Structure 1
Amino acid sequence: MALSGKLTKKLVENLGAGRHGDGNGLYLVVDPSGARRWIVRVVVKGQKNKKGGPLRTDFGLGSADLVTLNQARERALEYRRMAKQGLNPRFNAQREVPTFEEVAQQVHIDRMPTWKNAKHGRQWINTLRDYAFPKIGRMPIDSIGQPEVMMCLAPIWTEKHETARRLAQRIKIVLDVARSKGFRSGENPVTVVKDSHALPRVKAKPKHHKAMRWQDVPSFYADLRGRKAMAAKALMFTCLSGSRTGEVLGMRWEEIDFDNQLWVCPANRMKTGEEHRVPLTEEMLSIIEPLKAMRSEYVFEGQKRHRPLSNMAMLMLLRRMNAEGLTVHGFRSTFRDWAAEVANVPREVAEKSLAHAVGNDVERAYARSDLLEKRRALMSDWSQYVASGRAVETE
């Protein structure tokens, strides 16, 4: 039979900041940040405080995200019974500790609003699902130490080092959250494993997206021009703008200022997390203006109405054009090489065109301009070269 009190599940989820009583010494504490936790206030029989009065103490019962209202009431009742017997709950209570998987799933839910996109959110939990849950998922969160961390990391540390590095980071976050909620104490074992160099040092091999030589782009672009598929239109625009696949495919009409020949890509679609302005050349406009007749929400509409083109569409087109091994992302590198070898523009102009951060934090704090007009001239020259149908001869 469930215990009763003043609070309800709905109140627990919606009450604002403050301390809210349920009765019998149980309180829901809501922090200004929105974090919710349970505490119980008890008077330990026969024990005195420093002033000689009854020993009245608050005890944490865990996060309201992990401990339900009924569980909090049951634990509060257990604490009161111990206090009436003269037992201090701090040393005698048997806490119900969640498993590693339970905490990890809750962390994933809590962080959903912060994910850059749904794909990143899935990747975060899937890494733990594949490499941590099978080994430590059912273990109580307070029993996970260095051996358990090593059990997860060691099998993939050298073979899949980048995955292992991300796994370590995510395990550390879960354990840190558990500590903040009172389920763990002491140093994070992931930190200890790293600092002790218990795992071998792995020299990361940089992976580069295979790119087309800039000398070959005009003839390739001429081939694209003769194709009617939406993927060809999107790939042409991507090549000319130097943008990333997701930035282009997610482009909506309201982001385009035709009067000022400008495309403003919002921060939530940018890798840097900052809004990026892209100057539109005449060639770019000639690609997208005819697409307005489709009256779609997206500039490059896919097979489904008002849905963007698949992020695999351009890559599959490259393969059909026998450009095996090349990647869409590689055209950014192609543009960068051309900017350095032919256009000979300052580094910061080329880097800004690719929406790369330039300089250290101090330099970026002072260099607030996005060099739009200089980039406009650069992109115009690039468009004219790409659309020329012939390569520039080099010495």
Structure 2
Amino acid sequence: MAALGGKLTKRLVENLGPGRHGDGGGLYLVVDPSGARRWIVRVTIKGQKNKKGAPLRTDFGIGGADVVSLAQARDRALEYRRMARQGLNPRYNAKKDIPTFAEFAEQVHIERLPTWKNEKHGRQWINTLRDYAFPMIGRMPVDAIGQPEVLMCLSPIWTEKHETARRLSQRIKTVLDVARAKGFRTQENPVTAIKEAGVLPKVKAKPKHHKAMNWRDVPAFYADLRTRNAMAAKALMFTCLTGSRTGEVLKMRWEELDFEEMVWTCPAERMKAGVTHRVPITDEMLAIIEPLKTMQSEYVFEGQKRHKPLSNMAMLMLLRRMGVEGVTVHGFRSTFRDWAAEVAGAPREVAEMSLSHRIGSQVEQAYARSDLLEKRRALMERWSNFVVGDSAKVVFLSGTRES
């Protein structure tokens, strides 16, 4: 026998605002401020008392409104009311279609695919769960996971792989938060409880710095780069001069460059902070990239495949072939920052904005309407002149060096 109709309609279910909306017979649609919608059934269990001696009245989640239709919710509510009238607690007697943690985590990952900053980040998100959570709790129903189960995942790697464990805890928390929002859980998030109780030992994280070249050594290094004709050398020269990140430079397209205004605009999706960043182009930068127009590629620094960017490892491998050990490509950002402070005496906000770092509090950022482009242009000109130094006077040997 199907459940009878109630006060709600399909349109109301889709459009009602935040709050608890009754359909009748103990069935409620709960709409969170975030817009998430889930079904709740309230029943009074015959013959059972609560701690105060009153009839036991309790709520049960029966799923998210995007998964469980209004008709299905009414059928489930009718089933729960019948159990309650017989003195049976639906929590222990109802048949639940609760997904496992692994099933639900995979679904959350799919739903969030459009929001990932890049494909690599999306893979890392789910792979962390597959490696460290699924073997422990993957087959468990998502509503059966509490603090002990979460600790099974975190404890073995908490001190030895603390950064991985920290990210794992965030991702488990996200899965369980979404499960609760969709009505598959009613209890609080165990990850939050573990954190607040200080169950796991405190681990002092050691900051990891990208190894940087001393700014005094850059002119000689750059002079060596100038003798090389490989695309990786040109990309590394440009990276060194701009203080940009590897991915920002290698995926640079020609349409991002304004040769009249002498500005490179890196789009928000490629920036770490998710904000569009303008980089002033100096004469030396122009001398590097302008000859590359003849290749007519989609990317400024084309790799081995046509219309594909240079490999992320190309510049690092070039450093190793040059015999430059203990230095990373990313480290040239630190090199520039040290030079800007020690030699140029640049104001902090100009130097930091040159590296696309956010300055000040959120309030200060909200009122910072200028990106100080012209002041940064003057600083980058000085940096280019320092880096090039006497290398412009280098007398090349016959031919060019390939690397």
TM-score range, shorter chain: 0.7 to 0.9
Deviation track 1:292-337 (CA, whole Å, cap 9, x = no partner) reads 1111111111111111111111111111111122100000000001
SS at match of 2:327: coil
Q: How far apart are 1:376 and its partner, in Å?
A: 0.3
Match of 2:184 in 1: 183
Change (3 A) 1:367 1:63: same
Write the letter of the residue equivalent to 1:148: E
Write the letter of the residue equivalent to 2:262: Q
Measure, in 1, the Cα distance between the counterparts of 2:88 and 2:276: 51
Give the TM-score of the pair, scaled to structure 1: 0.81
8 Å CA contact retained: 1:351, 1:358: yes
How big is the alpha-carbon RMSD for the aligned residues of Structure 1 and Structure 2? Answer: 3.2
Q: How far apart are 1:186 and its partner, in Å?
A: 2.6
Give the TM-score of the pair, scaled to structure 2: 0.80
Change (3 A) 1:78 1:364: closer
SS at match of 2:324: coil
Q: How far apart are 1:33 and its partner, in Å?
A: 7.9
SS at match of 1:389: helix
Higher relative contact order (CA 8 A, sep 6+): 2
Measure, in 2, the Cα distance between the counterparts of 1:327 and 1:88: 70
8 Å CA contact retained: 1:212, 1:331: yes
Match of 2:238 in 1: 237
SS at match of 2:307: coil
Note if 1:377 corresponds to 2:378.
yes
Among all aligned residue pairs of Structure 1 and Structure 2, give the percentage whose two residues are the same amino acid.
Answer: 71
SS at match of 2:371: coil
8 Å CA contact retained: 2:36, 2:181: no
SS at match of 1:306: coil
Measure, in 1, the Cα distance between the counterparts of 2:84 and 2:319: 76
Write the letter of the residue equivalent to 1:202: V
Match of 1:251 in 2: 252
More off after superposition, 25-34 vs 295-304: 25-34
Q: How far apart are 1:27 and its partner, in Å?
A: 12
8 Å CA contact retained: 1:209, 1:330: yes
8 Å CA contact retained: 2:147, 2:194: yes
Deviation track 1:167-214 (CA, whole Å, cap 9, x = no partner) reads 111111111111111111232111111111111111110111000011
Match of 1:327 in 2: 328
Q: How far apart are 1:387 and its partner, in Å?
A: 1.0
Write the letter of the residue equivalent to 2:378: A
Match of 1:201 in 2: 202
SS at match of 1:343: coil
Measure, in 1, the Cα distance between the counterparts of 2:153 and 2:109: 19
Deviation track 1:215-239 (CA, whole Å, cap 9, x = no partner) reads 1111111111111111111100000
Match of 1:51 in 2: none
Note if 1:276 corresponds to 2:277.
yes
Match of 2:227 in 1: 226
For residues 47-126 of structure 1, what are the structure 2 equivalents within 5 Å? 61-63=62-64, 77=75, 80=78, 87=85, 91-92=89-90, 93-126=94-127
Write the letter of the residue equivalent to 1:316: M
Deviation track 1:88-108 (CA, whole Å, cap 9, x = no partner) reads 999433222111111111111
8 Å CA contact retained: 2:39, 2:73: no
Write the letter of the residue equivalent to 2:323: N
Deviation track 1:21-73 (CA, whole Å, cap 9, x = no partner) reads xxxx999999998867679999xxxxxxxxxxxxxxx9864236666x8xx97
Change (3 A) 1:240 1:89: farther
SS at match of 1:348: helix
Q: How far apart are 1:338 and its partner, in Å?
A: 0.6
8 Å CA contact retained: 1:18, 1:30: no
Aligned pairs, number: 357
